[in-house]
Amino acid sequence: MSGPSLNKLGAHRSIHDGAVTEGRDLMEVLERVYREKHEKHAMIAAKALLDHWETRTIAHADSEEEGLYKRKLEDNPDISHTLSMLKRDHDLLRILVSEIKELLDGQGVTDDVLDRFKAIYVLVQIHNRDEEAHLLDHH
């Protein structure tokens, strides 16, 4: 999503909410099959969850940085600190995704992988709340 609708709270929030809900649901599946020691299914679920965060959230973050954030900074240079914090959130998400890939390739699904997925889930919720409060048009 790009353009004017990225500025509108309702449209933007629906993207955020959808990604968070899907991430939560996939995480629940991953946790269940991991807990039941179904290694093959846990790897499938982990890869699906990883793909979800990459294609939904990281791609959305890239779009925001290329469009929304630049426009907001042009409109109001005073928000540069807020934008830096939001971009840092995006960087942390990218770091966590990269670490998950390395862990999955080296060790398969482990508690460390689950911890990083949980960190993504919490970080995304905090980030979305801050972004919606500071950047989006509330009408």
Query: Average pLDDT by consecutive 10-residue portion of the chain (139 residues)?
Result: 66 92 98 98 99 96 95 95 98 99 98 99 97 79
Would you kindly state where each structural domain of the chain is located, as residue ranges?
4-135
Pick the CATH number of 4-135 from 3.30.479, 1.20.120, 3.10.50, 2.40.160: 1.20.120
Q: 27, 121 in Cβ contact below 8 A?
A: yes
pTM listed for this prediction: 0.92
> In the prediction, which pLDDT does 91 show?
98
Q: 41, 33 in Cβ contact below 8 A?
A: yes
Beta-carbon neighbour count of residue 129 at 10 Å?
Answer: 12
